[in-house]
Amino acid sequence: MDAETPRDLGENEMLGSARCPGDGWIDLMEADSREVPAFLKTEHYEYLGSDPISTERYWHPDFATAENAKLWPYVWQFAAREEELPEPGDYVVFENAGRSYLLVRQEDGAVRAFHNVCLHRGRKLRTESGWASEFTCPFHGFSWKPNGELSNIPCRWDFQHLEDDKMKLPEASVGRWGGYIFVREADEGPALEEYLHPIPTHFKRWKHEECVTTAWVAKVVPANWKATMEAFMESYHAYVTHPQLMPFHGDANASYHVWGDHVNASWSLFGVISPHLDPTNKSQQWIVDEFERYNGRTADNFDASAQVHVEVPEGLTARRAVGEVARLSYAKLYDQDFSDVSDSELMDALVYNVFPNFSLWGGFTPSIIYHWKPGPDPDHCIMEVRILTRMRPDQPMPRCVPRKFLGLDEKWTDAPELGVLGDVFEQDNGNLPYVQQGLKASVTGQIQLGNYQEIRVRHFENTIDKYLNR
């Protein structure tokens, strides 16, 4: 039976239990040339029902208003990476869903997040990230210290009604893990480590705190933030939207996992032929050649000039051959011992999402981060992509590169620093405006989801409902 053949459920089989025939995730974890971490051999799928999803949630202004009131203030939001504000006095302006924050590095290395609004007549204190010894408002000159305490009010005689300790900048909670800085407006809910579970455990090996942002591109996308994010939560679309990946991407054999309300993951196989393709007469070398041509992640650290060509020795699979070469070239590149690192951690797409709008890639390949933020209306969003590069132990951590901002009419391929990813995102972008238009035009008012491959979409939409219905 091939990937296209429908199958009747067996007598004792449950909805959500069907899987694509062929070598699945667990089979390839068992066949890895190294022992993979135990969690990569564990299933965390949960069947969450098969009900359709309403289209209104993607475009109705009332739904966006409800998200602003009941969702965003209560969740941990990825706001910055540590390398954006390494020195005391460095600050980052982080804005989302109508709020604006100043993340400020303190003298003791802590990071505090203040609402970036002057308490006089409401001007934003800062509009760009930078360094400051004080935050003086450009309108009338009220100023605050980096710890949020009031510093000065010009013509103080006219403000005798204001007490200093009631004029501190309002503050949000800050959580830090793995080089990532999160903010949460409300002072309630789970601690960050609990919220991120099991990411801190899984990423212990992959050490994102030793990585820095070396490419950072944002783009305005004419689609709702959830619709855009959900286009990156399954490998199901790859066969039709990204056909060039099929020679080396086990798309339909990807595995999908959910944990609690806030984390899910897809683990997607690379270095194997898609179950959608006929493997007859396809050599292992062909798989590798296509992988190098269209994926570019054999060992290149997103530096095309460092791309390593892989020759598949007789008797070896493409996956093992790429693993062998990546293991050696990463060891050289990062001056670390990779000899016990599995093939999976060197080439698979181990993509985790943190509710509501943040995604990070695990493994030892250069990590990719996605971040989606609502735009000024429900029909637009801003998608940000970063490449994290692993540093050698003897290298000083460089500062974060500046963000490149692409407008509505620019293309992901206008950011050459994204390499072949730019082409892949342009293919996704070919769908998104028409997804948004279709969701609004829909006469059924519903969309349907696959029970397995689209479980992450349902999981996060369910969690949104949990927040909105609290």
Which residues bind to ligand FES, rule: CB under 6 A? 118, 120-123, 137, 139-142
**Smaller CB separation from Fe ion, 129 or 235:** 235
Given the DSSP bridges, would you call strands 404-406 and 211-221 parallel, antiparallel or unpaired? parallel
Asked if residues 78 and 373 have their Cβ atoms less than 8 Å apart, the reply is no
Minimum Å distance from CB 142 to ligand FES? 4
**Smaller CB separation from ligand FES, 41 or 124:** 124
Minimum Å distance from CB 191 to ligand FES? 34
Minimum Å distance from CB 88 to ligand FES? 24
Which residue lies nearest Fe ion, judged by its C-beta? 428
Q: Name the binder of 403 from Fe ion, ligand FES, none, CB < 5-8 A by kind.
A: none
> Which of 324, 368, 371 shows the shortest CA–CA distance to 208?
368
Binding status of residue 251 toward Fe ion by CB under 5 A:
no
Minimum Å distance from CB 97 to ligand FES? 23
**Smaller CB separation from ligand FES, 118 or 387:** 118
Q: Name the binder of 84 from Fe ion, ligand FES, none, CB < 5-8 A by kind.
A: none
Tokens 């892989």 correspond to 310
Distances 319 to 175, 248, 448 between C-alpha atoms, Å: 38, 9, 34
Q: Name the binder of 204 from ligand FES, Fe ion, none, CB < 5-8 A by kind.
A: none
**Smaller CB separation from Fe ion, 230 or 428:** 428
The alpha carbon of 411 is separated from its chain's Cα centroid by a whole number of angstroms, namely 20
Helices assigned H by DSSP within 231-362: 238-241, 284-294, 318-334, 343-347
The two structure tokens encoding residue 345: 């951690």
Minimum Å distance from CB 454 to Fe ion? 14
Name the segment binding Fe ion (CB under 5 A); options: 79-87, 210-218, 393-401, 426-434.
426-434
Asked if residues 186 and 73 have their Cβ atoms less than 8 Å apart, the reply is yes
Q: Name the binder of 142 from ligand FES, Fe ion, none, CB < 5-8 A by kind.
A: ligand FES
Minimum Å distance from CB 431 to Fe ion? 8
As a whole number of angstroms, the distance between CA 118 and CA 126 comes to 9
Q: Name the binder of 80 from Fe ion, ligand FES, none, CB < 5-8 A by kind.
A: none
Residue 202 makes CB contacts below 8 A (sequence gap 6+) with: 37, 39, 352, 362
Minimum Å distance from CB 213 to ligand FES? 32
Q: Name the binder of 293 from Fe ion, ligand FES, none, CB < 5-8 A by kind.
A: none
Minimum Å distance from CB 116 to ligand FES? 11
Name the segment binding Fe ion (CB under 5 A); options: 97-105, 144-152, 423-431, 435-443.
423-431
Q: Name the binder of 428 from Fe ion, ligand FES, none, CB < 5-8 A by kind.
A: Fe ion
**Smaller CB separation from ligand FES, 122 or 407:** 122
**Smaller CB separation from Fe ion, 243 or 438:** 243
Given the DSSP bridges, would you call strands 111-115 and 211-221 parallel, antiparallel or unpaired? unpaired
- Report the residue count for the chain: 470
Binding status of residue 348 toward Fe ion by CB under 5 A:
no
**Smaller CB separation from Fe ion, 348 or 428:** 428
Binding status of residue 428 toward Fe ion by CB under 5 A:
yes
Binding status of residue 230 toward Fe ion by CB under 5 A:
no
Distances 243 to 32, 276, 283, 383 between C-alpha atoms, Å: 26, 10, 18, 23
Binding status of residue 67 toward Fe ion by CB under 5 A:
no
As a whole number of angstroms, the distance between CA 394 and CA 335 comes to 9
**Smaller CB separation from Fe ion, 300 or 428:** 428
**Smaller CB separation from ligand FES, 28 or 137:** 137
To which H or E segment does residue 211 belong?
A: strand 211-221
> Which of 446, 461, 434, 456 shows the shortest CA–CA distance to 221?
434
As a whole number of angstroms, the distance between CA 455 and CA 470 comes to 23
Give me the helix-helix angle, 318-334 and 284-294, nearest 10°: 40
Q: List, in sequence order, every beta strand (DSSP E) within 306-463.
A: 349-354, 358-361, 367-374, 381-390, 404-406, 446-447
**Smaller CB separation from ligand FES, 18 or 167:** 167
The two structure tokens encoding residue 317: 């699979």
Minimum Å distance from CB 115 to ligand FES? 13
Q: How many CB atoms lie within 10 A of CB 265?
A: 23
Minimum Å distance from CB 403 to ligand FES? 26
**Smaller CB separation from Fe ion, 428 or 454:** 428
As a whole number of angstroms, the distance between CA 193 and CA 470 comes to 22
Minimum Å distance from CB 379 to ligand FES? 32
Binding status of residue 384 toward Fe ion by CB under 5 A:
no
Using CB under 5 A as the criterion, which residues of the chain lie in contact with Fe ion when the complex forms?
428
